[in-house]
Amino acid sequence: MSKFTRRGLLKSSAVMGAGLAMPTLITSPVAAYTNEPTGGSVTLGFNVPQTGPYADEGSDELRAYKLAVEHLNGGGDGGMMNTFTSKALKGNGILGKKVEFVTGDTQTKSDAARASAKSMIEKDGAIMITGGSSSGVAVAVQGLCQEAGVIFMAGLTHSNDTTGKDKKANGFRHFFNAYMSGAALAPVLANAYGKERKAYHLTADYTWGWTQQESMQQATEGVGWETVNTVLTPLATTDFSSYIAPVLNSGADVLILNHYGGNMINSLTSAVQFGLRDKQVNGKNFEIVVPLYSELMAKGAGANIKGVFGSTNWSWTLGDEGTKAFVKSFGEKYGFPPSNAAQTVYAQTLLYADACERAGTFNPCGIGEALEGFEFDGLGNGPTLYRKEDHQCFKDVLVMQGKEDPANEYDALEIVEITPRAQVEYAPDHRMFAGGSLGKCNPGA
Partner 1 sequence: MDSLLLQILNGLDKGSAYALIALGLTLIFGTLGVVNFAHGALFMIGAFCAVTFSRILNISKVTLDPEKTNFLGKPLEIKTPYVVDWFGDATGSAIIDWAVPLAILFAIPVMLLIGYVMERGLIKHFYKRPHADQILVTFGLAIVVGELVKASYGANPIPTPAPDVFRGSYDFGVLMGMDPNAVIYPFWRLIYFGFSTVIIAAVFAFLQFTTFGMVVRAGMADRETVGLLGINIDKRFTFMFGIAAAVAGLAGVMYTPINSPDYNMGMNFLVLSFVVVVVGGMGSLPGAVLAGFMLGILESFASMNEVKAFFEALYLPSIDQIVIYLVAIIVLLVRPRGLMGRAGVMEE
Which residues in this chain contact partner 1 in the complex, by CB under 8 A? Answer: 51-56, 229, 231, 234, 236, 238-239, 241-243, 245-246, 248-249, 261-262, 265-266, 269-270, 273-275, 278-280, 296-297, 299-304, 316, 327-328, 331-332, 337, 410
Nearer to partner 1, 336 or 426 (CB): 336
Cα 67–chain centre separation: 17
Instruction: State the minimum distance, in angstroms, from the CB of residue 176 to partner 1.
Output: 22
Instruction: State the minimum distance, in angstroms, from the CB of residue 243 to partner 1.
Output: 6
Q: What are phi and psi of 407, to 5 degrees?
A: -75, -30
Nearer to partner 1, 92 or 229 (CB): 229
Instruction: State the minimum distance, in angstroms, from the CB of residue 138 to partner 1.
Output: 19
Nearer to partner 1, 133 or 442 (CB): 133
> How many C-beta atoms lie closer than 10 Å to residue 370's C-beta?
22
Cα 399–chain centre separation: 18
Nearer to partner 1, 143 or 262 (CB): 262
Nearer to partner 1, 239 or 375 (CB): 239
Cα 3–chain centre separation: 72
Alpha-carbon separation of residue 249 from 97, 227, 273, 280 (angstroms): 63, 15, 16, 11
Residue 276, C-beta contacts closer than 8 angstroms, at least 6 positions apart: 244, 247, 248, 255, 286, 288
Instruction: State the minimum distance, in angstroms, from the CB of residue 61 to partner 1.
Output: 13
Nearer to partner 1, 28 or 280 (CB): 280
Alpha helices in 321-414, H assignment, sequence order: 321-334, 340-359, 364-371
**CA–CA gap between residue 289 and residue 309 (Å, rounded):** 5
Taking alpha carbons only, the member of 92, 81, 105 closest to residue 325 is 81
Instruction: State the minimum distance, in angstroms, from the CB of residue 332 to partner 1.
Output: 7
Instruction: State the minimum distance, in angstroms, from the CB of residue 82 to partner 1.
Output: 17
Nearer to partner 1, 119 or 229 (CB): 229
Residue 202, C-beta contacts closer than 8 angstroms, at least 6 positions apart: 231, 233, 240, 243, 244, 247, 255, 256, 257, 258, 259, 267
Instruction: State the minimum distance, in angstroms, from the CB of residue 242 to partner 1.
Output: 4
